[in-house]
């Protein structure tokens, strides 16, 4: 067996060990949450991520009631921005679709001169 095979085997074992450790360290709340975990590794570097999603009845996900005044103000700002900026999507020479605007500063959300 070659030395590179041994190193690659050790790397794979290390990644697997970290993945198992990351999955075993978290526990789901009794029926109130869903968990999704994944790990990615290359060589001796490993990155793991765990995402939690609580159900609608959980107090952690309750949203504040919307304020009709704030919603109306946001809609007015957006309409003003669209009128000034006239956003258009154009494909560049590499096939990437990019936004283009009629006025400067629109890419930063600027709605007034």
Q: 108 by DSSP, 3-state: which? A: helix
The Cα–Cα gap between 92 and 98 comes to 7
pLDDT single digits (tens) 95-113: 999 999 999 999 988 878 7
The Cα–Cα gap between 80 and 110 comes to 10
pLDDT single digits (tens) 26-54: 444 445 667 888 888 887 888 888 887 77
Between 58 and 46, name the one with better pLDDT: 46
pTM for the complete prediction? 0.44
- For 95: left if phi > 0, alpha if psi spans -120 to 50, otherwise beta; the answer is left
Structural tokens at position 14: 């290390």
Residue 41 β-bridge partners? 46
- Give the containing element (helix H, strand E) for 34: strand 33-42
């Amino acid at each position: 067996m070659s030395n590179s095979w041994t190193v690659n085997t050790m790397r794979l074992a290390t990644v697997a060990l970290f993945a198992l450790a990351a999955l075993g360290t978290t526990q789901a709340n009794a029926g109130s949450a869903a968990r999704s975990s994944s790990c990615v590794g290359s060589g001796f570097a490993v990155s793991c991520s765990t995402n939690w999603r609580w159900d609608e009845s959980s107090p952690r996900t309750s949203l504040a009631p919307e304020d009709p005044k704030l919603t109306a103000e946001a809609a007015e700002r957006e309409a003003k921005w669209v009128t000034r900026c006239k956003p258009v999507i154009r494909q560049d020479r590499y096939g990437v679709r990019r936004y283009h605007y009629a006025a400067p500063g629109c890419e930063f959300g600027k709605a007034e001169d």
